Structure 1
Amino acid sequence: MAQINTQTEVELFLQEPKMSKVILLNDDYTTMEFVIKILMDIFEKSYNQATEIMLNVHRSGSGVCGIYPYDIAEFKAKSAKMSAQAHHFPLKIITQDLN
């Protein structure tokens, strides 16, 4: 019996994941306390970080919650929107591609 030796060379091309910025937009109805809760629970910010982001949103109209790989950014934004809807707040949150 003849033995067949087969080798396949595979090249892998790894790419950096597409990154997205999650941005919280100001509105006149969502409470500051709820925004802080979302930032702590979903975006894993400390109380001080969450307060700083919330004040930035309040003063300038928007604030960055974080920069994540695209899928994670979309998941966190959707989770925040769903939580806001469940609590009857019109929270607006968007993602913005960086790459």
Structure 2
Amino acid sequence: MSTIEKIQEELDVLTEETRKHEIILYNDDVNTFDFVIDSLVSVCEHTPEQAEQCTVLVHYKGKCAVKTGEYKDLESKCSKLLQLGLSAEIL
């Protein structure tokens, strides 16, 4: 294996380990603004202002990335949002 191939292999491993994922929250016609804001504050640890901004983006754009991090850290947060009746997924 050449030095270049070895370095590229190491970079590929590092890139995969540090790859960030996002919880994407989608708009729905069921939940109120206040409920979504409260959910983002409690589950995603947003400030009230940040949660309000995300909620407005979801409403007008249809979706918004509400949390970024490693997949294993986002899994439980996304599950809690789904349990609350919100539409979310990890990308």
TM range (shorter): 0.7 to 0.9
Percent sequence identity over matched residues? 27
Counterpart of 2:56?
55
- Conserved? CA contact 1:17–1:70, under 8 Å: no
1:9-88 alignment, distance < 5 Å: 15=14, 16-82=17-83, 84=84
**For residues 19 and 80 of structure 2, what CA distance do their matches in structure 1 show?**
20
2:87 is the counterpart of 1:92: yes
Q: How many residues align?
A: 78
Larger Rg: 1
**For residues 77 and 34 of structure 1, what CA distance do their matches in structure 2 show?**
16
Query: Which amino acid in the other structure matches residue 63 of structure 1?
Result: C
**For residues 60 and 33 of structure 1, what CA distance do their matches in structure 2 show?**
18
Counterpart of 2:4?
none
Counterpart of 1:7?
none
More helix by share: 2
Moved more, 47-56 or 68-77: 68-77
TM-score between both structures, scaled by the size of structure 2: 0.77
- Conserved? CA contact 1:74–1:95, under 8 Å: yes
**For residues 30 and 18 of structure 1, what CA distance do their matches in structure 2 show?**
31
The runs of at least 4 consecutive aligned structure 1 residues that moved more than 6 Å come to: none
**For residues 18 and 70 of structure 1, what CA distance do their matches in structure 2 show?**
9
- Conserved? CA contact 2:81–2:87, under 8 Å: no
Unaligned runs of 5+ in 2: 1-9
